[in-house]
């Protein structure tokens, strides 16, 4: 999220960050957004009275902010049906592995990198995909390989993938804005 906000501020990416939403009240993303005068909202099922209420609150906040696209970067909850319907085919997520092989429910954080190492694959990677109502299921927009090196641990692989994610997300959004990815999904 920081790389995207910084790219927008520097004029390297067309558009504007309209709002940042987190289900975690103490999220560093909310602090970062507030420091840059971007609307920042904590919305969770707990804070608003359940999953349906959270979905409605998220959808309403996004619409009020004038959001055209949703960019999920570290948001680990499933979006609700109102939000999915309102922003259909305009929600992007970044996943720290190559989909579809290393995705689905429970495939987040170190679990992904454990699975990659256990598979014996020589490459891992990053996937940017459209979001639908299933975990890590939507159409793949872009992928970048990250090598698995001899002696890699979960931590070293995770660090290498995480280091490549920000720039790759910005590059993918630049390509999308320039119309270079429209036929890929």
State the residue for tokens 């349906």: 52
Contact (CB, 8 A) for 7 and 13 = yes
Please state the rounded mean pLDDT for residues 74-92.
Answer: 93
Question: Does residue 2 have a pLDDT over 90?
Answer: yes
State the residue for tokens 């987040």: 108
Please state the rounded mean pLDDT for residues 140-155.
Answer: 97
CA dihedral 103, 107, 110, 116 (to 10 degrees): -40
Question: Does residue 105 have a pLDDT over 70?
Answer: yes
Q: What rounded mean pLDDT belongs to the chain?
A: 95
Q: Could you tell me the pTM of the whole model?
A: 0.93
90 vs 83: CA distance, rounded Å: 10
Question: Which is catalytic among the residues 41, 42, 95, 129?
Answer: 95
* 42: annotated active-site residue: no
């Amino acid at each position: 999220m920081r790389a995207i906000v910084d790219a927008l501020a520097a004029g390297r990416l067309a558009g504007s960050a309209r709002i940042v939403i987190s289900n975690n009240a103490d999220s560093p993303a909310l602090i970062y957004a507030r420091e840059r005068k971007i609307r920042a909202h904590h919305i969770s099922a707990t804070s608003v009275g359940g999953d349906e209420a959270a979905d409605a609150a998220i959808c309403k906040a996004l619409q009020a902010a004038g959001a055209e696209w949703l960019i999920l970067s570290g948001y680990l909850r499933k979006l609700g049906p109102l939000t999915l319907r309102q922003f259909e085919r305009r929600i992007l997520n970044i996943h720290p592995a190559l989909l579809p092989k290393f995705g689905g429910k429970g495939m987040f954080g170190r679990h992904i990198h454990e699975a990659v190492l256990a598979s014996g694959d020589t490459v891992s990677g990053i996937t940017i995909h459209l979001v639908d109502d299933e975990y890590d299921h939507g159409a793949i927009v872009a992928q970048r390989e990250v090598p698995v090196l001899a002696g890699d641990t979960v931590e070293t692989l995770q660090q290498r993938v995480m280091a490549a994610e920000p720039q790759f997300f910005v590059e993918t959004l630049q390509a999308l804005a320039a119309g270079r990815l429209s036929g890929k999904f």
